[in-house]
Structure 1
Amino acid sequence: MRGPTGPVTVEVWLLDVPAELPEGACGPLDEGERRRAGRFATEAGRRRYVAAHLALRQVLSRYTGVAPGELRFGREGRYGRPVLRGAAAPGFSLSHGHGVVAVAVAAGAVGVDVQRVCPPGTVEACLPRLHPWERAELERVAPARRAAEFTRLWARKEAYLKGLGTGLGRPPRADYLGDAAPAARPAGWGVAQVTAPAGYAAAVAVPVPAGETWAVRSVRSALGPA
């Protein structure tokens, strides 16, 4: 399968985490992934981590033609975004949130995030961390809808920060990713919501040169055999 084509195209895969992983599921993972999987305090956390990294390998195998277990990963610098080693390797981003895995693939930098809708207490605790305009927008939303709208916003924000390569090392209040004024969002970036299962929000972010259009293609799938 060839990688995304067109001026700026992002393909986002949303995959379900299975209730159980088959025997030998960790086989395609490298030593570092297995070591990190073993550090989880709960079996549910370990299962989500393993499923997410298996999904990433299976998706990237479709674009590269390389078997999932033979893919090799590195980082841009010591703490930068993860990258796939090899000639003409696509850019990618990985996120997993309590049962759903999101993998975004593009020609270059890209960020993706999937979140389960946050409980109201989390929303209230996070409001002070937001850009002032974002906070004002959410405070105008009816309380019954605020958690869902906050989660949509937070997914856009994390997708953008992952695309930058900073993650939450960059203060969430530094950039506006709200709905009321899309033109005030970060210049040179396309940020969009991705259709997610009920109870979740997902978003993707990608650099878009001035004057170019961009498109998102979404794929809903299940985690299959490696």
Structure 2
Amino acid sequence: MVPVLREAPELSLWLLRSPSPDSAAAARLAVRELDDAEVRRAALFVRPADRVQYLSAHIALRRILAATTGCPPESLRLGREPGPLLSPRTSRPVLRHPPVPVHFSLSHSHGLILIGTAASAVGVDVQRTPTIEAVRVVGPALHPAEWRELLALPEPWRPAAFAQLWTRKEAYLKGLGTGLVRRPAMDYLGLGTDADAPPGPPGWIVRDVLVGPHHAAAAALAVAVEPRITLRTLPVACLYDGDAGLPLSAAPLLALRRRGSWTLRWSLLERDPPG
């Protein structure tokens, strides 16, 4: 019998830096494309940088989903779907009545925004590298094998390793739909260097995403085979209102991952993404 060849599942990742709140770029963001709930949420942020980061992330999300579905960004209806714990704190963001199957996840941290879209459940997370003191405080809450792996590293290496581990964990929990209501110690997302490390979560592919020297990021996808992952850096001009903005197709490819290895455009990775 001739085996059926199936294409690898696709995971699209988009990386964006939020503009400075007092910049001309921030003033040109297409805020009109957001719904009333998003506008109200943005107004609750006290720090202007946090407010602009939120606006940038949600405008980018809507434009990415618009490109995927063929619908205008402002017509998209975003909502919440209860996660497996049936709690408001674990509700998963969804697109209501999508014309094509699409799942998404969004994360932002200290000016860096990461968005993921796929045909199956997906989670992404980005974090700024913490201090060594933060690692000492939070580390014991990890899975015991994860904590042992961190402690086996030289102390100066632990913050970056912790950040990478934590983004894997949060990406998986966001994709699962529980968030951190599910205890971090319940699931093992380490690198398998501990002799007693259990296997990772079944039915999920969790991969690190390279986003620069000061942040860590990861993506989790509910598939059984290695996905084809593309990472694009999104110029802030793609979020401008009116005809002056760049089309989404102007986002250059930053990285490609297939069958376990990354092909990177290092010239783009080593500098801040445009915008």
Normalising to structure 2: TM-score of the pair?
0.76
* 1:193 has 2:208 as partner: yes
In structure 2, C-alpha distance between the alignment counterparts of 1:28 and 1:176, rounded to whole Å: 39
Cα offset, 1:24, TM superposition: 6.0
What is aligned with 1:148?
160
Greater RCO, 1 or 2 (C-alpha within 8 Å, sep 6+): 1
Residue 180 (structure 1) aligned with residue 192 (structure 2): yes
The Cα shift of 1:162 comes to 0.3
Equivalent-residue separation in structure 1 for 2:165 and 2:94 (angstroms): 26
Residue correspondence of structure 1 range 162-177 to structure 2 within 5 A: 162-177=174-189
Partner of 2:78: 73
Partner of residue 106 from structure 2, selected from 83, 94, 97 = 94
Conserved in 1, the CA contact under 8 Å of 2:121 and 2:221?
A: yes
Counterpart of 2:250 in structure 1 is: none
Q: CA deviation at 1:8?
A: 1.8
1:56 corresponds to which of 53, 61, 67: 61
**Is residue 2:47 matched to residue 1:34?**
no
Q: Counterparts of 1:24 and 1:100 in 2: how far apart (Å)?
A: 16
Q: Tell whether 2:126 aligns with 1:125.
A: no
Could you tell me which residue of structure 1 aligns to residue 125 of structure 2? 113
Q: CA deviation at 1:116?
A: 1.0
Which secondary structure does the structure 1 equivalent of 2:27 belong to? coil
CA RMSD across the alignment: 1.8
Structure 2 residue matching 1:184: 3-state secondary structure: coil
Retained in 2: the 8 A contact 1:17–1:48?
yes
Q: Tell me, which stretches of 5 or more residues in structure 2 are unaligned?
A: 1-5, 242-275
Structure 1: which amino acid aligns with 2:229?
V
Corresponding residue SS for 1:13: strand
C-alpha contact 2:29 2:56 (8 A) present in aligned 1: no
Structure 1: 5+ residue stretches without partners: none
Runs of 4+ in 1 over 6 A off after TM superposition: none
Q: Structure 1 residue 197: deviation in Å?
A: 2.0
Deviations 1:107-160 (A, max 9, x none): 021000011111222111111110000000000111111100000000100000
User: How far is 1:28 from its partner?
Assistant: 1.0
Q: Which residue pairs with 1:84 in the alignment? A: 95
Give the structure 1 partner of residue 173 of structure 2: 161
1:176 partner SS: coil
Structure 1 length-normalised TM? 0.91
Give the partner amino acid of 1:84. L
Give the AA of the match of 1:118: P
Structure 1 counterpart SS, 2:33: coil
1:183 to partner: Cα distance: 6.8
Are the counterparts in 1 of residues 57 and 113 from structure 2 also a CA contact under 8 Å?
yes
State the partner residue of 2:264: none
Any conservation in 1 of the 2:211–2:217 contact (CA below 8 Å)? yes
